[in-house]
Amino acid sequence: MLEIIASFTHPINIGTTPQSMFWLFPLAVAGVVVYKAMKVRQITFKHFLKQTTALFLFLIGLLIIITLAIYVISLIETT
């Protein structure tokens, strides 16, 4: 139990490499599952899986579009 509590005092250093962006996927899945579990009135596995998958793909797609837009803006600003 103390190891779990101690792990919060020394967080993992993820860094800013392109490979570190893959940590976004488990975080997004967790957020989508919790959000949908709170919003759906009646949970059936098939319906819940369909809705969470759609929201996850939308969220990841939106983040990719925003990332590309910021990248293009930074390229324009540096030239």
Closest CA to 49 of 38, 36, 60: 36
Query: Is the pLDDT assigned to residue 28 strictly greater than 80?
Result: yes
Report how far residue 27's alpha carbon sits from residue 12's, in angstroms, rounded to the nearest whole number: 14
What tokens were used for 58?
A: 């939308």
CA distances from 18 to 12, 27, 32, 33, 41 (A): 17, 16, 23, 25, 38
| Domain definitions of the chain by residue range | 25-79
- The tens digit of pLDDT for each residue in 29-79 reads 999 999 999 998 888 999 999 999 999 999 999 999 999 999 999 999 987
